[in-house]
Structure 1
């Protein structure tokens, strides 16, 4: 019987897990996030298993078919999901054990599927921003305690691997927020006519398009026997061109955490900077410090912006070179003014500007488009998506400062 979770504890998941691994701990870490719970079982700091209360026997069926275990897939007791006699967090594990005992899965297949369940549960756990936890030293079941050491997983290496994967997921966070989102064609005609906005061949496109009937990105990847990140990368151009739309995860997966936004580096306050100066003893008078964000894929332009604006203590500049990460960073930073290039890879300045203007948080924030295009059409289009003003490259120091001061001072 697991004790109640201590609701006073907030999860700092990486530090907790790394401490448990380095101290070679044995037991069960229980973590709660809303109605979702995880049980993480360790022995001598190594990972035995992770169970998550959000799971589905349909996904077990997909895994079995992916392994070629069609007989076992047909034998899954799908009605067990509605049974009150099975604990939710043990549902898939119990079904795997039942299929193994009936000889429908051999020990290798059973271990392989159990490992995949553990990996997916661990990845969703590492996406938590906060939660509540309790450590139970007596939490190992006899079956897990007797598990062969050859099947243990190195927790520290698993954390490192999924943190690296998270960084890739975060590149697409403005488009994809969960691997459980469900891709749909925006119009049935895309099944019948060639679509040229992506890199898929007509045959591959038809195969994928016919599968997009309510299954998640993760399940789509399983059907195609591909890594889900690769599938997302292939579908991104079609999503951007509105050939594919993504709907929210279905139950119960909508209760899992979404891909977390990347953390912004901490910018020291003016008081903290001045406190390092020799002889500092008095607080600085209240002077408005304006936060400016510059989004440009050119390091040279970013350096020039920093050189010019850095001369004035009224401004702090945040440089953003990756336009994919820009929206998440901007929503966290909440700058007083945004300088933004138009022509950028993956997502252009027009789309980013439109995205910001659709948010109440940036309804009145000055957005200045910075570009080498001098045409009236470009300026008109910038105005249409909500740009406040327009700065043409190459620009002088005086031109940039005058435009910034026009909207901030």
Structure 2
């Protein structure tokens, strides 16, 4: 999907994780340019994959430091080298660097065989981590998404997964934050929670409570406002559907199992569930798209929708936030995990 050049939005608050999630999910092709009063960022994408990222502060100092780790024979970055690489603009005889000179420099060094294409890809990945680490910390700014850009006709050396890069950046930021003086790291193991069997026993006992049923979890008691609930489960795996049905007591819950996501919308409308468990990765229609469709329907604007997935990275959570899901159930899950989610969202 390509966003037209006219797609431009000016705003004060910036949510980098949500923005990157949208670009990745929609498989955008283009250049995301982000501006603040001091610096600017450029993030280049093809079908939602990252091909290059840079920002305006100390561009060549950053590039040169990474180059020297790859190959000590790379020419020094100075005025003469810029001229030899064809990076100098002769317009108005001002001899300034051309736009995206850093990427042109990488292309030139590959062409001259100072570095290989594989090394260029590794270099771009390391630069992207550094660039996105600064980008995801932004709180305010303006952005513009350009479908056409100067790098469009240049060779591409990698197509990087945005989620992996962002997760790395988040870990680095968290590590530095926790390493600050005065912040104690928490290496102590947490107290053991109730076992699945213990929780199951408490849940079974709670079935006799009337008129309001209750579920206990981690010493917290959740009252259920109704005697009976309908839960819709959408998953292309019959094994997962069977597990959910097995884990939920049939005297309290009616489980509607749906394994064809394309037909899910009509089945959900018919059953009018109190809670929806929705697999993220399904053929033909992924969970995020289906969640977005459900939220547009008047019946399900406020129905709890839980994304069931093995992927819970920062990009995934941002995607879930965009489509207004209510929470996550991480695969593989136990009965205790499922009961905790059910109690939280219908209690």
Decide: shared fold, TM above 0.5. Answer: no
Structure with bigger strand share is 2
TM-score relative to the length of structure 2: 0.42
TM-score under structure 1 length normalisation:
0.36
Structure with more contact order per residue of length (Cα contacts < 8 Å, sep ≥ 6): 2
